[in-house]
Amino acid sequence: MEKTIECEYIVLATGMWSRQIGEDTGFSIPLYPAEHFYVITEGINEIPKNIPVLRDFDDRLYLKEDAGKMLIGIFEGKSIPAFNKTNRVPDDFSYGEFPENFEHFESFLEAALKRVPILEKAGIRKFFSGPESFTPDTNTLLGEVPGLKNLFACCGLNSIGIGSGGGVGKVTAEWIMNGHINEDLFIYDIKRFQNFHSEVNFIKERITETLGDLYGMHWPFKQHKTSRNQKLVPYHEELKKAGACFGVSGGYERPMWFALDGEKAEYEYSYNYQNWFPSAKYETKNTRENVGLFDLTPFSKYDLKGNTVHEELQKICTANIKNEAGKCTYTQMLNKDGGIEADLTVVCLDENYFRVITAAANREHDKFHINKHLSKEVKLIDVTDNFCVLGLFGPKSRDLMKELSNDDYSNENFKFGTAKYITVNSIKLWAQRLSYVGELGYELFVKKDDAKKIYNIIFEKGKKYKLSNCGMHAMDIMRMETGFLHWGHDISPEENQYEAGLNFAISHKKNIDFIGKKSLIKLRDAKHKKKFLMFTLNQSKPGEPLMLHDEPIYIDGKIAGRTTSANYSFNFNKNLAFGYINTDEDLETIKSKSVEIEIEKVKYNAEILTKPLNKKDFKNL
- Is residue 441 within a helix (H) or strand (E), and if so which, with residue range? strand 441-447
Would 567 be classed as within a structural domain? Answer: yes
Query: What values do phi and psi take at 210, rounded to 5?
Result: -75, -25
**CATH of residue 618:** 2.40.30.110
CA 352 to CA 447: how far, in whole Å? 22
The reply to whether 170 falls in a domain is yes
Q: What is the arithmetic mean of pLDDT over 520-542?
A: 91
pLDDT digits (tens, 9 = 90+) for 152-206: 999 999 999 999 999 999 999 999 999 999 999 999 999 999 999 999 999 999 9
* pLDDT, tens digit (0-9, with 9 covering 90-100), for 66-101: 999 999 999 999 999 999 999 999 999 999 999 999
Q: How far is CA 224 from the centre of its chain?
A: 14
Q: Are the beta carbons of 610 and 587 closer than 8 angstroms?
A: yes
- Number of domain units in the chain: 3
pLDDT of residue 539: 81
User: How many angstroms from the chain centroid is the CA of residue 288?
Assistant: 26
**pLDDT reported for residue 367:** 98
Task: Choose one of 218, 251, 276: the last residue of a domain.
Answer: 218
What CATH number corresponds to the domain at position 157?
A: 3.30.9
Q: Is the pLDDT assigned to residue 432 strictly greater than 90?
A: yes
Show which of 162, 183, 218 is a domain's final residue: 218
What is the predicted pLDDT for the residue at 54? Answer: 94
Contact between 409 and 453 under an 8 Å Cβ cutoff? The reply is: no
Give domain status of residue 557, yes or no: yes
For residues 431-451, give the mean pLDDT: 97
% helix, strand, coil for the chain, step of 5: 30, 30, 45
Is 108 inside any structural domain?
yes
Instruction: Check: CB of residue 414 under 8 Å from CB of residue 429.
Output: no
Residues 575-595 have a mean pLDDT of 94
User: Is pLDDT of 540 > 80?
Assistant: no
pLDDT score for 619: 85
What is the arithmetic mean of pLDDT over 130-143? 97
Shared domain for 11 and 158, answered yes or no, is yes
The residue among 183, 218, 253 that closes a domain is 218
- Residue 228: predicted pLDDT: 98
Q: What is the pLDDT of residue 527?
A: 85
304 with 193, same domain?
no
Q: Are residues 162 and 32 in the same domain?
A: yes
Mean of the per-residue pLDDT values of the chain: 96
User: Tell me: the pLDDT tens digits for 325-373?
Assistant: 999 999 999 999 999 999 999 999 999 999 999 999 999 999 999 999 9
Specify if 12 maps to a domain: yes
Averaged pLDDT, 271-288: 98
pLDDT at 148 over 90: no
Residue 143 has pLDDT above 70, yes or no: yes
287 domain residue, yes or no = no
Query: What residue numbers bound the domain in which 357 lies?
Result: 300-383
Q: For residue 396, name the pLDDT band (cuts at 50, 70, 90).
A: very high
Question: What is the pLDDT averaged over residues 567-585?
Answer: 96
Same domain, 201 and 318: no
User: Other C-beta atoms within 10 Å of 177: how many?
Assistant: 9
- CATH number assigned to the domain comprising residue 307: 3.30.70.1400
pTM: 0.95
Do 23 and 121 reside in the same domain of the chain?
yes
Residue 521 one-letter amino acid: I
Does 90 reside within a domain?
Answer: yes
Distances (CA, A) of 88 to 11, 24, 42, 158: 21, 11, 34, 18
Confidence band for 121, pLDDT divided at 50, 70 and 90: confident
If asked whether residues 44 and 190 sit together in one domain, one would say yes
Q: What is the pLDDT of residue 1?
A: 63
Q: Which of 274, 211, 208 is nearest to 245 (CA)?
A: 274
pLDDT for 262 beyond 90: no
Percent of the chain with pLDDT over 70: 100
Other CB atoms within 10 Å distance of the CB of residue 145 = 24
Rg (CA), the chain: 26
